[in-house]
Amino acid sequence: MKRVLPGFGLSLGFTLVYLSLLILLPLSGLVFKASTLSFEQFWSIATGERALAAYRVTFGASLLAALINAFFGLVVAWVLVRYPFPGKRFVDSLVDLPFALPTSVAGITLATLYAGNGWIGRHLEPLGLKVAFTPLGIVVALTFISLPFVVRTLQPVIEDIEPEIEEAAASLGASRFQTFFRVLLPGIFPALLTGFTLAFSRAIGEYGSVIFIAGNMPLISEITPLLIISKLEQYDVVGATALACVMLAISFVLLLAVNALQWWSANRHQSRRTGA
Amino acid sequence: MSSYVARKANAEPRWVRLSLTGIGLGFLFFFLALPLVAVFAEAFSGGWGAYLEALQHPEALSAIALTVLIAVVVLPFNIAFGVAAAWAIARFDFRGKSLLITLIDLPFAVSPVVVGLVSLLIFGAQGVFGPWLAAHGIKIVFALPGMILVTLFITFPFVARELIPLMQAQGRDEEEAAVSLGASGWQMFFRVTLPNIKWGLLYGVILANARAMGEFGAVSVVSGHIRGETNTLPLYVEIIYNEYNAIGAFGAASVLALLALVTLVAKTLVEWRMRQETEMLEAGLPPEKTS
Amino acid sequence: MSRLLRQLFLSVVAAGAVAVSPAFAQASLLNVSYDVARDFYKDYNPLFQKHWKAKSGESVELKQSHAGSSKQVRAVADGLEADVVTMNQASDVDFLVEKGLVAKDYAKKFPTNASPYTSTMVFIVRKGNPKGLKDWSDLAKPGVQVILPHPKNTGNGRYSYLAAWGYALKQPGGSDKTAQEFVGKLLKNAPLFASGGRDATTTFMQRKIGDVLVSFESEAELIAKEFGKGGFDVVYPSLSILTEFPVAIVEKTVDKKGTRKQAQAYLEYLWSKDGQENAAQNYLRPRDAEVLKKYAAQFPAIKTFSVDEVFGGWSKAFPAHFKDGGTFDQIYLAK
């Protein structure tokens, strides 16, 4: 029963070669460049006051944006797959929009919408909620640019759920909520986590849209990619690669943790399925 | 899809359905529809004529052409990689799988500007291979190859990451059955795997396509911004916006939005084909149990 | 529609052809420039082509590349084959000198410090100037909101910063210490730092944030073009900075391509009457006294100082103020 299916060597081999050439080689170039710094130099760039503040803003806003997208993305994917409503096809196709719109256009448009006199901002400002040109604006921009991930990873998985499972649960007396949380959610959780992870990692690297809505005040609303640009503006390529390496390392660890968690949860789910 | 609605046992109470639809659509309204309307409102602020005129500018046309060209070159590579990676990861157990998935995710977390920077570190005049390339008259950065390379990097994970959770959720039973019934590897792939993953594949391709066309940061670093030659649509948008031509900028952006709406067309086409196939099957064969 | 498609197809073919054929049929110059210079060179290039055809009988192809100034020179250093660079800040050309691509004495190779035209930083205020903002000192007063591009990361932001610094320095009793205090107060009045000149304008004009926008004089006309003349007034401070736009030949490229003659002529012609008129028509102050006089109505007299005079050149001003740990960082980190 070991490896009945063909193509393991071919597919894995191709994957590894392609990955090495396109991703690992360039990234090692980055690390190599940063390694021309002495450790003290590297450390002082990586842990400067502004850099630390920027990590906090970047990772905090990205996490918030990914959480928002995980919740609403699940609802949207569920609604798009399961419920009929007029104009559904059009709404469905809108979901990819944030990727196609150049990030700068997204940033300019969102800043205009959420500014004090914008369509949305003018209703929020009287409530004391300032969005544009505050860290909250960063969350809005990041939510926008990473919106498609959760919806699009969940959609095919929800479409694939076999109705028999739900019917069986219902006939065994489970309420709809029980069926959802006990039967359906565990099945789609790995995909949800994937969507969350992708949204989170995409948000970490985002620059183009954020700078238009962030306000870019030092220590308050500066994201790390902006600091990298700032280094480049000073023609300090090595300094820029140092910050890029820090981001890369943190992202790598976070992603690895989430993927390990996902692998573990998928395994548990599978063993439960076969064991039950 | 509509078959779900008919099944009583699987349907939520009406108030749940309505409120979920309300929440989902409300979210999309504020985060998608309004920005889209704002982009089009700005694009048409000078009227239909000004909009068309802005788009017929030779520089705009060459930018559209270049954008489409890059996407067309990039997609097949990433589809091949995505399917291969998903097959290896979802169908086999091996050590270091989480590490491999993480490496596939990594390009998302790398800031596009850094992606561009890295290409320069390797292929630029001051880079590792730069002098050699210059001596042999090969242009990579500030030309089409460099722009294709960074777009490959940026859109690298999409197809794979779309397929992996889907194929994991589906399990390998059907394929194992096909193989044990004597199907060859490619037969199994085209008859069993591909029909099963087509939606996920389609979403992956659509996302990668949208991202390839919309990418600004990385391409901007390696393009050289030569007017009418190496400006993609997003670069063109940025530059003419900076020149105080908002109608042209948002008009070009609206074209990108429309290009993203090919989802609509592609999905409709695939659905239509499928319905035809099912009808043909039903006419001749006993109905296959749909999943 | 079919015409559109055909043009699209042709452009695809052309894009492909460009990618595979590095050879040039005729002399071709690539001018790598900063982002708002497009209008200027769109008008200037045909003028030069006509002039060059008449003078040498040769037709020359001119290609333009526009983007953020320092991004552009980094691209040139990384292999973008520019024959000439036309920038908005000397520090950008200095970088190419450092990389050995541009002659050390580039500023002496052409008249007037190799800057064919100049501009200055002015204030854009709301119609009727409701806050009565007259000079830099008013911008540092409490309760005034100032909009400007990021002082550390953008060219116009840096010019704005240095303009305010120079103003404070030239006040009675002015020193680096008082200047830093003054600029610090002014920056406290900035609710945000825009990502660039255009973004600052949108924030001020369309989103109606702030009481005053600090901007290039030449940009005021572009603002009028986009938003109409009715919405704002231009205020000239008592003293401002002279912004120079240095041009230079990229030695390495012209030697390789054999285009030195054309590149030299292309830049020289910027100082011709035609070139100077073109500058004035694009709201950039011409160097030629006669042309300047002809367009005097457009360019009110204003006292200015150059970066060289007050700061000892960009090579000193840049590290002192805008590198990590410079005065800008000190203002924000020393709290």
Q: What is the ipTM of this complex?
A: 0.85
CB proximity list for C63: less than 8 A, separation 6 or greater: B226, B227, B228, B229, C28, C29, C30, C31
- Residue A187 confidence class, pLDDT cut points 50, 70, 90: confident
Q: What region, left, alpha or beta, does residue B171 occupy, with left being phi > 0 and alpha being psi -120 to 50 degrees?
A: left
Task: Specify if B21 maps to a domain.
Answer: no
% of chain A with per-residue pLDDT over 90: 44
Residue A132 near residue A111 (C-beta atoms within 8 A): yes
Measured between beta carbons, the chain C residues lying within 8 angstroms of A132 are 207
Task: Specify if B277 maps to a domain.
Answer: no
Q: How many domains does chain B have?
A: 1
Say whether C12 and B65 touch across the interface (CB within 8 A): yes
What digits encode the pLDDT tens for the residues B36-50?
Answer: 899 999 899 888 888
Mean pLDDT for B2-19 is 66
Task: Report pTM.
Answer: 0.87
Those chains having 3 or more beta-carbon pairs within 8 angstroms of chain A are B, C
- Residue B9 confidence class, pLDDT cut points 50, 70, 90: low
- A39-275: CATH topology is MetI-like fold (1.10.3720)
Q: Which of A108-117, A182-191, C181-190, C230-239 has the lowest mean pLDDT?
A: A182-191
Q: Which residue has the higher pLDDT, B99 or B267?
A: B99
Torsion of CA C175, C171, C311, A228, to 10 degrees: 80
Indicate whether A156 pLDDT > 90.
Answer: no
Say whether A218 and C324 touch across the interface (CB within 8 A): no
% of chain B with per-residue pLDDT over 90: 33
Position A51: which residue type?
A
pLDDT of residue C221: 84
Say whether B69 and C12 touch across the interface (CB within 8 A): yes
| CA distance, residue B195 to nearest chain C CA (Å) | 33
Tokens describing residue C10 = 């042709």
CA nearest B266 in A: which residue? A93
pLDDT of residue B290: 44
Q: Which of A102-116, A262-276, C101-115, C263-277 has the lowest mean pLDDT?
A: A262-276
pLDDT of residue B137: 86
pLDDT of residue B283: 72
Q: Which residue has the higher pLDDT, C19 or A21?
A: A21
Say whether B239 and C66 touch across the interface (CB within 8 A): yes
Is B14 in a helix, a strand, or coil?
helix
- What would the 3-class secondary structure string for chain C be? CHHHHHHHHHHHHHHHHHHHCCCCCCCEEEEEECHHHHHHHHHHHHHHHHHHHHHHCCCCEEEEEECCHHHHHHHHHCCCCCCEEECCCHHHHHHHHHCCCCCCCHHHCCCHHHCCEEEEEEEEEECCCCCCCCCHHHHCCCCCCEEEECCCCCHHHHHHHHHHHHHHHCCCCCCHHHHHHHHHHHHHCCCCEECCHHHHHHHHHCCCCCCEEEEEHHHHHHHHHHHCHHHEEEECCCEEEEEECCEEECHHHHHHHCCHHHHHHHHHHHHCHHHHHHHHHCCCEECCHHHHHHCHHHCCCCEEEEHHHHHCCHHHHHHHHHCCCCHHHHHHHCC
Position B166: which residue type?
L
What digits encode the pLDDT tens for the residues B188-197?
Answer: 999 999 988 9
Task: Specify if B243 maps to a domain.
Answer: yes
Mean pLDDT for B123-142 is 88
CB atoms within 10 A of CB C327: 18
Is B160 in a helix, a strand, or coil?
helix
Task: Indicate the CATH number for domain C22-116+245-297.
Answer: 3.40.190.10
pLDDT of residue B172: 87
Measured between beta carbons, the chain A residues lying within 8 angstroms of B118 are 26-27, 29-30
Q: Which residue has the higher pLDDT, C15 or A33?
A: A33
Indicate whether B28 pLDDT > 60.
Answer: yes
Indicate whether A233 pLDDT > 90.
Answer: no
pLDDT of residue A271: 59
Task: Specify if B90 maps to a domain.
Answer: yes
Size of interface A-B (CB pairs under 8 A): 334
Task: Specify if B198 maps to a domain.
Answer: yes
Domain with CATH 3.40.190.10 in chain C: 22-116+245-297, 118-242+302-333
- Residue A166 confidence class, pLDDT cut points 50, 70, 90: confident
CA nearest C148 in A: which residue? A215
Mean pLDDT for B246-254 is 89
Tell me the residue length of chain A: 276
CATH code at position B189:
1.10.3720.10
Kindly give the confidence (pLDDT) of every residue in chain C, 335 residues in length, as a single tens digit, with 9 standing for 90 and above: 455 555 555 555 554 444 444 444 578 999 999 988 888 999 999 999 999 999 999 999 999 999 888 889 999 999 899 999 999 899 999 999 999 999 999 999 999 999 999 999 999 999 999 999 999 999 999 999 999 999 998 988 999 999 999 999 999 999 999 999 999 999 999 999 998 888 999 999 999 999 999 999 998 888 888 888 888 999 999 999 999 999 999 999 999 999 999 999 999 999 999 999 999 999 999 999 999 999 999 999 999 999 999 999 999 999 999 999 899 999 988 65
Indicate whether B214 pLDDT > 90.
Answer: no
Measured between beta carbons, the chain A residues lying within 8 angstroms of B165 are 153, 157, 190-191, 194
CATH of C118-242+302-333, one of 3.20.20.150, 3.40.50.10800, 3.40.190.10, 3.30.70.141: 3.40.190.10
Tokens describing residue A140 = 């809005």
